[in-house]
A and B are shown apart, each in its own frame.
Chain A
């Protein structure tokens, strides 16, 4: 299957700082990537849809100024948590949608990035 890599795998930061998480599709192009957040013992919650070359689409209740998404190339999307606070501590997961070829439209997930805000 296709590989999606997230970096960093885990990060600890101080309250008030910003943290950037990268999501890369390693062996395919992805015009669309999705960002999820998962709190302990809960399911994945879709935060936003990231589209290459255009603005992200945010789900209801997700602050776009708080969670900045950039999808500058067909293999990279970034999520920046701005002015992070302890309540932003969570497991952030991305998925990438295959843009061409036999697996067109299928989704593959990254390993997740665990953010802890002190």
Chain B
């Protein structure tokens, strides 16, 4: 799986949009970009994923550049409860069958987002 690079930490004011960047310059054509977050002392929580088109759900938006070498996770109106470590992970297609694809997720160091009042 391709390696990702994220800033170590970011601050965001409550109520403002939080934009978390991720570089994945070695991503291959069939790899997806996944975002998870981990609130202190809890298991990771799925946020969103995409292949090449921008995606939006009730939690966030994912913007993927045209060359797919980077992406940005957007939390439109950050709240104090969004304070967490955010992980950007590149992963092969989840529905890809075959013994060579276990679908495992390899976590990098992530970005610690601190939402401040």
The residues of A with any CB-CB pair to B shorter than 8 Å are 1, 4, 6, 32, 34, 36, 43-46, 49, 57, 91, 93, 95, 97, 104-112, 114
User: In the bound complex, do residue B103 and residue A91 qualify as a contact, i.e. CB atoms below 8 Å apart?
Assistant: no
User: In the bound complex, do residue A112 and residue B41 qualify as a contact, i.e. CB atoms below 8 Å apart?
Assistant: yes
Given contacts A43-B108, A43-B109, A105-B96, contact A49 B43 (CB under 8 A): no
Q: Which residues of B contact A91 (CB under 8 A)?
A: 41
Q: Which residues of A contact B44 (CB under 8 A)?
A: 44, 93, 95, 109
Q: Does B102 contact A (CB under 8 A)?
A: yes
Q: Which residue of B lies closest to A103 (CB)?
A: B94
User: In the bound complex, do residue A105 and residue B104 qualify as a contact, i.e. CB atoms below 8 Å apart?
Assistant: no
User: Is the interface on chain B under 10, 10 to 19, 20 to 34, or 35 or more residues?
Assistant: 20 to 34
Given contacts A104-B94, A104-B95, A105-B95, contact A110 B106 (CB under 8 A): no
* CB proximity of A52 to chain B, nearest CB, Å: 13
The residues of B with any CB-CB pair to A shorter than 8 Å are 36, 38, 41-46, 85, 87, 93-96, 102-110
C-alpha gap A110/B43 in the complex (Å): 6
Q: Which residues of A contact B93 (CB under 8 A)?
A: 105
Q: Which residues of A contact B109 (CB under 8 A)?
A: 43
Given contacts A105-B94, A105-B95, contact A95 B105 (CB under 8 A): yes
Q: Which residue of B lies closest to A36 (CB)?
A: B107
